């Protein structure tokens, strides 16, 4: 087995174990393999081991990998921060966007989503770590943002995403993920049909699953340490 196939298997075992501890079905948690900074060959190795959904943060890098893996039937998720002037290619080529943090971004993606494709599946990113983090909308702003996104014709609002301030303390990890879950519950009670919680990465996926994650976004534990530029 390739190193990547081995790592992937180990991550799936971690997910299954965390689900069992939480009394959840392993089918309720999808693994998104975050392949940013890794070449097409790494994507193909994971795909050969059965992985279908891949997460990317840089548009040009992702497009190159999509082209090179065109026949593999992979599903691509844009997870990085997105500048408004880079929305066109994302609307044209991705199945999901996880980092909607303002109405303007959502409006552009909806307007640019090709009619021939299904609606773009999106999550609103929320900052649950206060001043420690700058990405995502404030929890107080999530209701209005979600309502605006839900009204856009070419987007399908699926749920919430967060990247908490990193910490080694499992209780602190769970506290942050629990804030996102409670927010989802409030928004559902307000009538928004949110079925997705995109939370948990290589170092904290167990805490995220314990708090209800339905998509975990895992890079390092599958592909190895990234060389930061």
Ligand X SMILES: *Cc1c(COP(=O)(O)O)cnc(C)c1O
Q: Which is nearer to ligand X, 14 or 108 (CB)?
A: 14
Residue closest to ligand X when measured from CB atoms? 219
Cα 145 to Cα 118, 139, 198: the distances in Å are: 22, 10, 17
Q: How far is the CB of 34 from ligand X (least distance, A)?
A: 4
Binding-site size, ligand X (CB under 6 A): 14
Rule CB under 6 A: is residue 201 a binding residue for ligand X?
Answer: yes
Which residue number, 107 or 203, has a Cβ lying nearer to ligand X?
Answer: 203
Task: Please identify, among the stretches 8-16, 142-150, 175-183, 196-204, the one whose residues bind ligand X according to the rule CB under 6 A.
Answer: 196-204
**Which of 108, 113, 181, 217 is close enough to bind ligand X by CB under 6 A?**
217
Question: According to CB under 6 A, which one of 35, 42, 51, 57 is a site residue for ligand X?
Answer: 57
Asked if 36 touches ligand X (CB under 6 A), the answer is yes
Are 36 and 221 in contact by the 8 Å Cβ rule? The answer is: no
Query: Which C-beta is closer to ligand X: that of 81 or that of 178?
Result: 81
Q: Does 163 bind ligand X (CB under 6 A)?
A: yes
**Which CB atom, from 188 or from 205, has the smaller least distance to ligand X?**
205
Does position 80 interact with ligand X (CB under 6 A)? The reply is yes
51 in contact with ligand X (CB under 6 A): no
Sites of contact with ligand X (CB under 6 A): 34, 36, 57, 79-80, 163, 201-203, 217-221
């Amino acid at each position: 087995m390739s190193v990547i196939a081995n790592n992937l298997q180990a991550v799936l075992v971690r997910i299954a174990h965390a689900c069992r501890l939480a009394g959840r079905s392993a089918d309720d948690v999808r693994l998104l393999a975050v392949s940013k900074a890794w070449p097409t060959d790494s994507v193909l190795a994971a795909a050969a081991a059965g992985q279908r959904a891949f997460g990317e943060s840089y548009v040009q890098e992702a497009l190159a990998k999509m082209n090179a893996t065109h026949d593999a039937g992979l599903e691509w998720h844009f997870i990085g921060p997105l500048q408004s002037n880079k929305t066109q290619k994302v609307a044209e080529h991705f199945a999901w966007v996880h980092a909607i943090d303002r109405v303007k971004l959502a409006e552009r993606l909806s307007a640019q989503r090709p009619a021939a494709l299904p609606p773009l599946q999106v999550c609103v990113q929320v900052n649950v770590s206060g001043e420690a983090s700058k990405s995502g909308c404030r929890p107080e702003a999530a209701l209005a943002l979600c309502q605006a996104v839900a009204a856009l014709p070419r987007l399908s609002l699926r749920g919430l995403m967060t990247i908490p301030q990193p910490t080694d303390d499992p209780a602190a990890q769970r506290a942050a993920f629990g804030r996102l879950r409670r927010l989802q519950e409030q928004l559902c009670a307000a009538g928004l049909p949110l079925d997705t919680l995109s939370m948990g990465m290589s170092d904290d996926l167990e805490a995220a699953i314990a708090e209800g994650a339905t998509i975990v976004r895992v890079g390092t534990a599958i592909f190895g340490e990234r060389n930061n530029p």
